[in-house]
């Protein structure tokens, strides 16, 4: 499969004490220009890190739009919408077909361009956008 496609990368300061690893989703931190690993699932993500940055308060390149590699937290099939899965910054397939008890917001980060199992790297077309699954 062809590699990444560079459309929009941006540099952010990492606020996590242990830094971040490569190909992980990061979310907004306290101040402008900062990012951190998510604290849980389905958070709004700035994008996917393109390099590892092991040091706190140093910069990391984040892919905001385009095609990026990313880690899967669970099985993902190509064509599925994906969102943040957990505090490691791995991704999961968004469940947009189950009708919830109340309207549910999914912070979709993109569409899987390849399939992967838990712990594997996949390609994702980063095209962030919220999706609300309404009640019936």
Per-residue pLDDT of 9-30, as tens digits, reads 999 999 999 999 999 999 999 9
31 CB-near residues (< 8 Å, 6+ apart): none
**Cβ 114 vs Cβ 72: under 8 Å:** no
What is the value of pTM for the model shown?
Answer: 0.93
Q: Is residue 2 part of a domain?
A: no
What average pLDDT score do residues 104-131 get? 96
Task: Tell me: do 125 and 73 sit in the same domain.
Answer: yes
Task: Tell me: do 74 and 57 sit in the same domain.
Answer: no
pLDDT at 100: 87
Q: Pick the last residue of a domain from 18, 39, 64.
A: 64
pLDDT at 51: 98
pLDDT digits (tens, 9 = 90+) for 85-100: 999 999 999 999 988 8
Q: Is residue 19 part of a domain?
A: yes
Task: Tell me: do 87 and 128 sit in the same domain.
Answer: yes
Q: How many CB atoms lie within 10 A of CB 54?
A: 12
Task: Tell me: do 126 and 73 sit in the same domain.
Answer: yes
Pick from 98, 92, 97: which is nearest to 116 by CA?
A: 92
Q: Is residue 107 part of a domain?
A: yes
Provide the β-strand partners of residue 29.
none
What average pLDDT score do residues 105-134 get? 96
Task: Tell me: do 78 and 108 sit in the same domain.
Answer: yes
pLDDT at 67: 96
Task: Tell me: do 25 and 53 sit in the same domain.
Answer: yes
Task: Tell me: do 108 and 55 sit in the same domain.
Answer: no
Taken in order 34, 35, 39, 43, the sign of the CA dihedral is positive
Domain count for the chain, please give it: 2
CA angle, 10 then 81 then 108, to 5°: 50
pLDDT at 136: 72
**Cβ 52 vs Cβ 32: under 8 Å:** no
Residue 2's pLDDT band (cuts 50, 70, 90): low
Mean pLDDT of the chain: 95
pLDDT at 1: 52
Q: Is residue 1 part of a domain?
A: no
pLDDT digits (tens, 9 = 90+) for 32-72: 999 999 999 999 999 999 999 999 999 999 999 999 999 99
Domain that holds residue 23: 7-64
């Amino acid at each position: 499969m062809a590699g990444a496609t560079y459309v929009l990368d941006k540099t952010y300061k990492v606020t996590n004490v242990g830094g971040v690893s490569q190909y992980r989703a990061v979310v907004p931190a306290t101040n402008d220009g900062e990012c951190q690993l998510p604290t849980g699932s389905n958070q709004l993500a700035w994008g996917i890190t393109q390099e590892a940055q092991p040091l706190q308060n140093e910069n990391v390149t984040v892919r905001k739009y385009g095609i990026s590699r990313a880690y899967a937290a669970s099985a993902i099939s190509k064509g599925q919408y994906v969102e943040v899965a957990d505090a490691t910054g791995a991704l999961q397939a968004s469940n947009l077909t189950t009708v919830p008890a109340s309207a549910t917001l999914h912070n979709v980060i993109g569409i899987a361009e390849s399939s992967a199992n838990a712990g594997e790297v996949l390609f994702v077309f980063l095209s962030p956008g919220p999706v609300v699954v309404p009640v019936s």
